[in-house]
Amino acid sequence: MLELIFGTRTKVRLLQLLAASRSPITRNELARITHSGIRSTYTQIEELIAIGVLKETENGRSRVVLDPEFPFYDSIRDLLLSSRDYPGTPQDVLKLVDRICGDNYYLGAFTAARQSITPIDYDPPVYMINILKKQYRRLYPRLKALGKLPNIRVYEKTGEAGETTIIANACESIPPDVKRVDYLNVEVWIASTERGIIECLARKTPFTLYGTYLALLQNRLDNVIDLAYFRKLAMEENCLPLALAVMSEFNEVSGRDIFELTEEEKKMASSAKEMVDTKEIKHAINTVMG
């Protein structure tokens, strides 16, 4: 019985639409709203009528509606309505990721970079999920299954974004600065702010330079970044000249000493100056500082 009721995505979409509707709907309208084929819609509605889940009503045109006489009408309608928008928020998705991966992962890149600030202008619902390499083959297929849910995309590399996008990455170990924290009212494992910014600067991620520069500037102006630790991580990731060049460019463009740099650091920064996008630095400064 359950296979006949919920056996296809089309049936689930049809039933969710009818459960939420206050009036009967024609077959053609159902096909159009659910983006389903006419023939498939008609066939599956006939099956649902046959087992009593739906019934036809006559009101000028033949329409269908959930049949309140069906023995499980209340239970099915409640399930359809309560599950219609789930998972509908980033919090729902993060709970699922945490449930799947346990303590074998951490959130990094921009998610970590923005955890202590309220992002201005740039805050994509894209999450870099770093999974322990020894657990990756077991856990990634479970994460990938989330991509079958509406408006969620899951990739091992950057792909077309959905309303919520997960980018999975295998890592050798969990960094020592990863902590269990409340992020968007969800308990997750997340790297430090400093590591998040460095990952955006040093690695290939789906996040823009503008977003990375914004996060660095906001964290600095809000005084929630440990610059000594930031430098240490940049050295470990072999991107210290780049990190210093970004800080130096912020100083030069703004005309302020936002970041304190030694003479030696300024020389090191000059060697990576061509790697910095000055246009996006200016854009970030205008956005945050006006």
Which pLDDT tens digit goes with each residue over 18-31?
Answer: 999 888 999 999 99
Q: Is the pLDDT of residue 275 over 70?
A: yes
Could you tell me the end-to-end alpha-carbon distance of the chain, in angstroms, rounded to an integer? 62
pLDDT at residue 61 greater than cutoff 90: no
Domains parsed from the chain with CATH numbers: 2-83 (1.10.10.10), 90-289 (no CATH)
Band (pLDDT 50/70/90 cuts) for residue 161 is low
Task: Give the list of residues 6+ apart from residue 136 with CB closer than 8 angstroms, or none.
Answer: 168, 170
How high is the pLDDT of residue 151? 79
What local confidence, expressed as pLDDT, does residue 4 receive?
A: 85
Rg for the chain, CA atoms, rounded: 25
Integer Cα distance of 189 and 37 in angstroms? 43
Could you tell me the pLDDT band of residue 192, with boundaries at 50, 70 and 90? very high
Coil, helix or strand for 65? Answer: strand
197 pLDDT higher than 60 = yes
Average pLDDT, the chain: 92
Give mean pLDDT, residues 218-247. Answer: 97
Which residue's entry shows tokens 């399930």? 79
Residue 70: the pLDDT is 93
Q: Which of 149, 124, 142, 138 is nearest to 206 (CA)?
A: 124
What's at 124, amino acid-wise?
P
Max Cα separation, the chain? 84
CB 186 within 8 A of CB 95: yes
Block residue for tokens 């460095």: 198
The share of the chain scoring above pLDDT 70, in percent, equals 97
Q: Over 60: is that where the pLDDT of 159 sits? A: no
Per-residue confidence (pLDDT) for residue 83, from 0 to 100: 79
Q: What is the pLDDT confidence band of residue 74, given thresholds at 50, 70 and 90?
A: very high
Residue pLDDT, tens place only, 112-146? 999 999 999 999 989 999 999 999 999 999 999 99
Q: What is the mean pLDDT of residues 191-202?
A: 96
pLDDT bracket for residue 60 (50, 70, 90): low
pLDDT at 156 over 90: no
